Structure 1
Amino acid sequence: MIHAADVREWRNENVVDPKGRRIGMLEAVYVDTATDEPAMATVRTGLPTRQRLVFVPLDEAVLGPGYVRVPYVKGKVRKAPAIGTDDILPADQEETIFHYYDLEYRTGLQGERRLARR
């Protein structure tokens, strides 16, 4: 698991799948608003003229020298819900990301968002 103190150190590092295949570059980390622990990352993928940010969970991520290894294969991550490189995550799309990875989604007690960008 990635600890909150490590987050800034790993931006712009390669994100790889379990076989070591490069998925893209870690762009930003989203924390769980209930725990303030890293929950999701956005990964910059695509061609230089058509890049987008795809979401991937960090719950079982492993940090290595110059990379972040996620437990999902490259093909699954590249097909994950995405936003544009200058966009923000709309609140109504959070649930879609969790369901894509077969993860439980719950809002806060007052209906607060589950993810916040750090």
Structure 2
Amino acid sequence: MITISDIREWRNHDVLDANGKKIGSLEAIYVDTATDEPAVATVEIGLLTNKRLVFVPLDDAVVGPGYVRVKYPKAQVKDAPSIGTDDVLPAEDEPAIFQHYGLEHRPGASGERRLARP
């Protein structure tokens, strides 16, 4: 099980798909605002001059020495919604992340954000 206390240790770890293929490097973790549990990671992908951050859910993720393995295939993650390396996730873009992975997006009871960086 992934615990929030481990977040600082995950940064820059390799992110692998279910088959062990490297997707990129872990850049940040977003927590679910309802539970304060890690929910989504941003993964840095691309070439030196064209890097971007893609989003991948952390459900069933496995943390190992030097890596985080997610259950989604590399191709699906690379096609996920993305932001620039210096950008932040706009609240209105959150549903697209969940939709990309076939997950339900449930904002808070008052419509507040579902994802936040700790």
* 1:12-36 residue CA offsets vs partner (Å, 9 max, x unmatched): 1000011111000000000000000
1:47 aligns with 2:47: yes
> Deviations 1:58-115 (Å, cap 9, x if unpaired)?
0110011110000011111000000000000000000000010001111111110000
Cα RMSD of the aligned pairs, angstroms, is: 0.6
Structure 1 distance, partners of 2:5, 2:79, is 29
Structure 2: any 5+ residue segments left out of the alignment? Answer: none
Residue 99 of structure 1 aligns with which residue?
A: 99
SS of equivalent residue, structure 1 residue 99: helix
Distance (whole Å) between structure 2 residues aligned to residue 2 and residue 59 of structure 1: 9
| Percent of pairs with identical residues | 65
Q: Show the counterpart of 2:62.
A: 62
Letter of the 1:26 partner, please give it: L
Q: TM-score, normalised by structure 1?
A: 0.98
TM-score (norm 2): 0.98
